[in-house]
Amino acid sequence: MSVAHDISSRKYSEQVLRDYRQELERRVLERTRELTSNRAALQTITDNLPVLIAHVDADLRYRFNNQVYREVFGVEPSALRGKTVRDTIGASTFERCLPYFRRVLAGERVTHEDIVYEGAPSRVWNATYIPEFQREEIAGFYIMSQDITETKRRENQMRSEVMLDALTGLPNRRALAEQLALSVDAARDDAVPFALFFMDLDGFKSINDQHGHDVGDALLIQVAARLKKTTRAGDLVCRLAGDEFVLLARGISSSSACSRIAQDICRAIGRPFELGRVEAHLGTSVGIAMCAGGFDTSAEAMLGDADRAMYEAKRKGRNGFRFASVAADVAPTINNYLDADRRSAVHH
Residue 41 located in a structural domain: no
The HSE-up count of residue 16 (CA atoms within 13 Å, CB side) is 6
CA angle centred on 207, ends 321 and 209, rounded to 5°: 125
Structural domain boundaries, residue 326: 164-344
**Distance from C-alpha of 96 to C-alpha of 98, rounded to nearest angstrom:** 6
Which secondary structure element, helix H or strand E, spans residue 290, and what is its range?
A: strand 283-291
Does residue 29 sit within a domain? no
Residues present in the chain in total? 348
62, 87, 142, 260, 309 from 91: Cα distances, Å: 16, 7, 20, 47, 53
Same-domain check for residues 338 and 194: yes
Give the model's pLDDT for residue 159.
75
Say yes or no: 99 and 150 in one domain. yes
Specify if 16 maps to a domain: no
Q: Which of 134, 161, 188 is the last residue of a domain?
A: 161
Distance CA 136, CA 88 (A): 29
- For residues 139 and 243, state if they share a domain: no
Residues 220, 309 within the same domain:
yes
User: Which of these three, 120, 141, 161, is where a domain ends?
Assistant: 161
Domain match, 202 and 115 both: no
**Number of compact structural domains in the chain:** 2
Q: Are residues 86 and 118 in the same domain?
A: yes
Say whether both 212 and 317 belong to one domain: yes
Residue 150 maps to a domain: yes
Choose one of 161, 179, 202: the last residue of a domain: 161
Per residue in 216-271, pLDDT (tens digit) is 999 999 999 999 999 998 899 999 989 999 999 999 889 999 999 999 999 999 99
Q: Over the chain, what is the mean pLDDT?
A: 83
Q: What is the pLDDT of residue 3?
A: 63
For 15-56, the pLDDT digits (tens) are 766 676 667 666 655 655 555 556 666 677 777 677 888 889
Give the pLDDT score at 293: 64
> Distance of CA 14 to CAs 8, 19, 254, Å?
10, 9, 100
Q: Is 185 an active-site residue?
A: no
Whether 292 and 236 map to the same domain: the answer is yes
> How would you classify residue 60: left for phi > 0, otherwise alpha for psi between -120 and 50, otherwise beta?
left
Q: 301 in a domain, yes or no?
A: yes
Read off the DSSP letter of residue 164. B
Helix (H, G, I), strand (E, B) or coil at 3: coil
Give how far the C-alpha of residue 191 lies from the chain's centroid of Cα atoms, to the nearest Å: 23
Residues 196, 310 share a domain: yes
In a domain, 6, yes or no: no
By CB atoms closer than 10 A (0-12, 13-18, 19+), residue 135 is exposed
Would 43 be classed as within a structural domain?
no
Residues 250 and 325 reside in one and the same domain: yes
For residues 101 and 60, is the Cβ–Cβ distance under 8 A? yes
Q: What CATH number does residue 89 fall under?
A: 3.30.450.20
What are the backbone angles phi and psi of residue 168, rounded to the nearest 5°?
-95, -20
The burial of 57, by beta-carbon neighbours within 10 Å (0-12 exposed, 13-18 middle, 19 or more buried), is given as middle
Task: Please give the full DSSP string across 112-161, using - where no structure is assigned.
Answer: EEEE--TT-TT--EEEEEEEEEETTEEEEEEEEEEE-HHHHHHHHHHHHH
Q: Is 306 part of any domain?
A: yes
Of the residues 200, 243, 305, 341, only one is catalytic, namely 243
What residues in the chain have per-residue pLDDT under 50? Answer: 327-348
pLDDT score for 276:
83
Same domain? 238 vs 297: yes
pTM of the model: 0.59
Which CATH number characterizes residue 264's domain?
Answer: 3.30.70.270
Verify that 182 and 329 share a domain, yes or no: yes
